[in-house]
Amino acid sequence: MSKLLLVRHGITEHNSTRRFAGYSDVDMTAEGYAQVEKLSDRLAKEKIDAVYSSDLKRALVTAEIISARHNVEIVICPELREANYGNAEGLTFKEIEECYPELAKAIASFSPGELNFPGGESFEGFVARTSTFLDRLNGHHPEQTILIVSHSGPLRVLLCALLGIDQSFWRQLRCDNASLSIVETYPQRAILNLLNDTSHLGNSIK
């Protein structure tokens, strides 16, 4: 059995204002750093054998803060980036409705085959790109614990893939900022032990 710790980065200004931040390399806010410190405290006694992180700094800094207590090298994985929203980067949904009404309809209805961000990725391309990360897990031995630090979108893709859930159910999963989800993997199956847990944040969660 391998134990996968799936972590989302701490909150950013884009998250707070509900703006689409995909490839935009935004930093966490002071609150985001505080969230990650609390998550790091929670994981301090966890045995972590490997750490993988998106190369965007909000995720990479989250991985650095957590891994500092475990003396494990971080493997940077561009495939764990958030979706590339192209021309919609930095916009709110209301602004997308005004500028790209057809895109807004596709987002609202969540039709995976039709969701394509102008100048960015299609949803299907995003899923295919993110799913390549799973190949990195093949070389790990059973009984290892692996930390994966990424963004809401890629983490939900990985959860669906690991659990054998069709990606059309992607939107029905939730990964809040600085949340922890845990999946145990076996040769024939994966078991979800924890989903979107933020109990370590106490009253700071919004």
Instruction: Give exposure, 86-99, as e/b (b: 16+ Cβ within 10 Å).
Output: bebbebeeeebeee
DSSP code per residue over 38-72: HHHHHHTTS---EEEE-SSHHHHHHHHHHHTTTT-
pLDDT given for residue 205 in this prediction: 44
Helical packing angle, 57-67 and 30-43, nearest 10°: 40
Angle subtended at Cα 23 by Cα 119 and Cα 177, rounded to the nearest 5 degrees: 135
Model confidence band, residue 113 (pLDDT cutoffs 50, 70, 90): confident
Give the H or E element holding residue 34.
Answer: helix 30-43
Query: Hey, how many other C-beta atoms are within 10 angstroms of the C-beta on 193?
Result: 12
| Domain extents in the chain | 2-204
167-191: pLDDT as tens digits: 999 999 999 999 999 999 998 899 9
Token pair 């659990």 is found at: 163
AA letter at 57: K
As a whole number, the mean pLDDT across the chain is 94
36-87: pLDDT as tens digits: 999 999 999 999 999 999 999 999 999 999 999 999 999 999 999 999 999 9
pTM for the model stands at 0.95
Provide mean pLDDT across the span 135-164. Answer: 94
Q: What is the fold of 2-204?
A: Rossmann fold (3.40.50)
Cα within 13 Å of Cα(7), Cβ side:
33
Known catalytic residues are 9, 151
In whole angstroms, what is the distance from residue 150 CA to residue 179 CA? 11
